[in-house]
Amino acid sequence: MDNPILFYDGDCGFCQRSVQLIIDNEKVPCFYFAPLQGDFAAQQLPTSLTTDLNSLVVLYKQQLYTQSDAMLLIVSFLSLPYSLAKIGKLMPRTIRNKAYTIVAQNRQKLSSYSKSCKLPTLEERARFIK
């Protein structure tokens, strides 16, 4: 598959809202989405990436991206203003990943602010892999 696949924590409200933000802001619909806890993730990813749910993972062109590298890849597919975040490439990876880790460790707190989420359309549902 040539399209990027985003693996995310399927039990995390913050992560689910992030997936929705991506769907709503892609320049062209191209991402597929799969929970890290699913069978597809277990088949495609090393066990270390499916047991540590503190990083989303993007599989794109047979390469795996995690943490801030995954985020920078994702924003490159998004429209303005989100695509401007790719300027983060100028920051050293260690600093980017530290910031990513802080958000990842607090994502459950961040998701407690909203208990609702938008239901995907039929077209969007077709892009989710179990």
Q: Is residue 111 part of a domain?
A: yes
Please tell me the predicted confidence (pLDDT) of residue 115.
56
Instruction: Give Cα 83 to chain centroid, integer Å.
Output: 15
Q: How much is the average pLDDT of 36-60?
A: 93
Per-residue pLDDT band for 117 (boundaries 50, 70, 90) equals: low
Q: Is residue 26 part of a domain?
A: yes
Please tell me the predicted confidence (pLDDT) of residue 104.
87
Q: Is residue 130 part of a domain?
A: no
Q: 11-20, 57-66, 90-99, 114-123 — which is least confidently predicted?
A: 114-123
Q: Is residue 93 part of a domain?
A: yes
Mean pLDDT (the chain, rounded): 90
What is the per-residue pLDDT across 77-106, written as a single tens digit (0 to 9) for each?
Answer: 999 998 999 899 999 999 999 999 998 888
Q: Is residue 48 part of a domain?
A: yes
Burial letters for 43-76: b for 16+ Cβ neighbours within 10 Å, e otherwise? ebbeeebbeebebbbbbbeeeebbbbbbbbbbbe
Helix H or strand E segment including 105? helix 93-105
Question: What is d(CA 111, CA 63) in angstroms, rounded to the nearest whole number?
Answer: 29
Q: Which residues contact 33 (CB under 8 A, 6 or more apart)?
A: 5, 6, 7, 8, 19, 127, 128, 129
pLDDT at 108 over 80: no
Please tell me the predicted confidence (pLDDT) of residue 60.
98
Q: How many domains does the chain have?
A: 1
Q: How much is the average pLDDT of 16-32?
A: 94
Q: Is residue 22 part of a domain?
A: yes
Q: Is residue 29 part of a domain?
A: yes
The domain of 48 spans 5-125
Q: What is the chain's alpha carbon radius of gyration, rounded to the nearest angstrom?
A: 14
DSSP 35-46: ETTSHHHHHHS-
The reported pTM is 0.88
Q: Is residue 17 part of a domain?
A: yes
pLDDT at 120 over 80: no
